[in-house]
């Protein structure tokens, strides 16, 4: 075996060194965002579906009964039912963007060998993961803005002013948290075709008991108690606090955000242990 100059320590000859995780995250992000916008499935599940739900729910449960506008009990008073659904459906949009879409696309990338091919390049796992999460945060913010404007135009829902920073931060934190949960869920799904049904099977019951589709104040206590364990309801509550027109504070729901964050940290720890570049299925 002849030894050649390649024996020299790597990276010294040309002075070129591999990029930092932050710069590679910012490099990865626009490509993930672009492919998100081009993907029909991601557009449907994260834009069309929440808008459809808002129109249906506000149409069915909003409006008025016997000349009296339907209202929902919330902290500090009552708000119109149609207005109540705006933060609930924002939650749906955040979860669709951060969890559902991410689980499907990450599982597909892993099982089809896209991640395996990236593994042979110098890109670190953290940049691939963070670039994808950044895409979810940005699309969640865009989605939330669309829903707020639609609520404002059609249901006379207000646009928050003093609580606007809290709303934006809650959307970002919620999106990041559900990205973590998405990576955890993706790591236990071994089949690309199973991703969609598994995610929906997990999320759909939670939507019903967490105040997304039905106001929490109308649910039996035992269902609310179950929902309290999971992060969906706490994100709904946190968004409602930051959106509620009766709220005179800055709009941060500390306890709810802490519970969402706790779920996120646990999910991230689990996902990092189980993360795989290689296909898990046959």
The tokens describing 242, both together, are 């930051």
**What distance lies between CA 172 and its chain's CA centroid?**
9
The nearest distance, CB 45 to other proteins, in angstroms, is 15
The nearest distance, CB 14 to other proteins, in angstroms, is 6
Residues that bind other proteins (CB under 8 A): 1-4, 6-7, 10-11, 14, 16-19, 24, 27-28, 31, 34-36, 38-39, 105, 108-109, 112-114, 116-124, 278
Give the nearer residue to other proteins in terms of CB position, either 35 or 162: 35
3-state secondary structure (DSSP) of residue 201: helix
Give the nearer residue to other proteins in terms of CB position, either 18 or 188: 18
Give the nearer residue to other proteins in terms of CB position, either 35 or 64: 35
3-state secondary structure (DSSP) of residue 282: coil
Q: H or E segment at 205?
A: helix 195-209
Cα 1 from Cα 151, distance rounded (Å): 72
The nearest distance, CB 100 to other proteins, in angstroms, is 16
Give the nearer residue to other proteins in terms of CB position, either 120 or 161: 120
Per-position DSSP letters for 80-137, written without gaps between them: EHHHHHHHHHHHHHHHIIIIIHHHHHHHHHHHTTHHHHHHTSS--HHHHHHHHHHHHH
Cα 152 from Cα 157, distance rounded (Å): 4
The nearest distance, CB 138 to other proteins, in angstroms, is 16
Give the nearer residue to other proteins in terms of CB position, either 85 or 183: 183
Beta-bridged to residue 68, according to DSSP, are 65
The nearest distance, CB 115 to other proteins, in angstroms, is 9
């Amino acid at each position: 075996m002849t030894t050649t100059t390649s024996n020299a320590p790597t990276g010294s000859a040309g002075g070129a060194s591999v990029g930092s995780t932050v710069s590679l995250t910012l490099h990865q992000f626009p490509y993930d965002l672009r492919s998100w916008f081009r993907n029909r499935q991601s557009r449907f599940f994260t834009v069309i579906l929440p808008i459809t739900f808002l129109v249906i729910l506000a149409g069915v449960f909003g409006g008025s009964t016997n000349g009296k506008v339907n209202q929902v009990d919330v902290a500090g008073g009552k708000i119109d039912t149609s207005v109540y659904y705006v933060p609930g459906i924002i939650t749906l949009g955040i979860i669709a963007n951060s969890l559902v879409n991410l689980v499907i696309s990450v599982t597909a990338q892993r099982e089809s060998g896209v991640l395996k091919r990236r593994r042979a390049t110098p890109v670190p796992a953290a940049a691939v993961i963070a670039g994808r999460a950044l895409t979810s945060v940005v699309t969640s913010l865009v989605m939330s803005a669309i829903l707020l404007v639609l609520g404002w135009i059609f249901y006379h829902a207000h646009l928050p002013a003093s609580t606007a920073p809290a709303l934006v931060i809650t959307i970002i934190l919620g999106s990041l948290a559900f990205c973590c949960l998405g990576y955890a869920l993706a790591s236990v799904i071994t089949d690309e075709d199973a991703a969609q049904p598994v995610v929906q099977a997990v999320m759909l019951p939670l939507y019903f008991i967490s105040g997304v589709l039905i106001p929490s104040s109308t649910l039996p206590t035992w269902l609310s108690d179950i929902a309290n364990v999971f992060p969906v309801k706490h994100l709904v509550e946190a968004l409602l606090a930051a959106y509620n027109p009766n709220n005179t504070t800055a709009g941060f729901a500390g306890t709810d955000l802490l519970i969402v964050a706790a779920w996120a940290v646990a999910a991230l720890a689990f996902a990092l242990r189980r993360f795989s570049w290689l296909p898990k299925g046959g």
